[in-house]
Amino acid sequence: DTAVSQTPKYLVTQMGNDKSIKCEQNLGHDTMYWYKQDSKKFLKIMFSYNNKELIINETVPNRFSPKSPDKAHLNLHINSLELGDSAVYFCASSQVDRANEKLFFGSGTQLSVL
């Protein structure tokens, strides 16, 4: 069983389109995240959700909106896609109250905007 799964693996789309990436975790964690990895391989936090409440939003354009229907899911919806949105997007989860904090990542969604 995959701990953190995200779909699709690859997403190719035209500028201006709206798309969603889905993420599910079966670890029972209470916090989920979206990270963006750019062409230089830097991973940058976009959002995190803890018990359905948004607790981070790091200067991300409001075209990006996270949706969490329940504790196990955190989807990412992107409106009016732009060329600069092309990147690999990773979903992750963690348990807030554990001392040995570690993130569990999904395998990534490679988004290409043409």
Per the CB < 8 A criterion, the answer to whether 110 and 9 are in contact is yes
CB closer to another protein out of 45 and 72: 45
66 contacts another protein (rule: CB under 8 A)? no
- Closest CB 106 distance from another protein, rounded Å: 5
Q: What is the dihedral of CA 56, 60, 65, 69, to 10 degrees?
A: -20
- CA dist 83 and 19 (Å) reads 14
Given 33, 34, 74, 76, the residue binding another protein (CB under 8 A): 33
**Total site size for another protein, rule CB under 8 A:** 27
- Answer whether 74's CB lies under 8 Å from 48's CB: no
Binding interface with another protein (CB under 8 A): 4, 31, 33, 40-45, 48, 50, 55-56, 58, 90, 92, 94, 96, 100-108
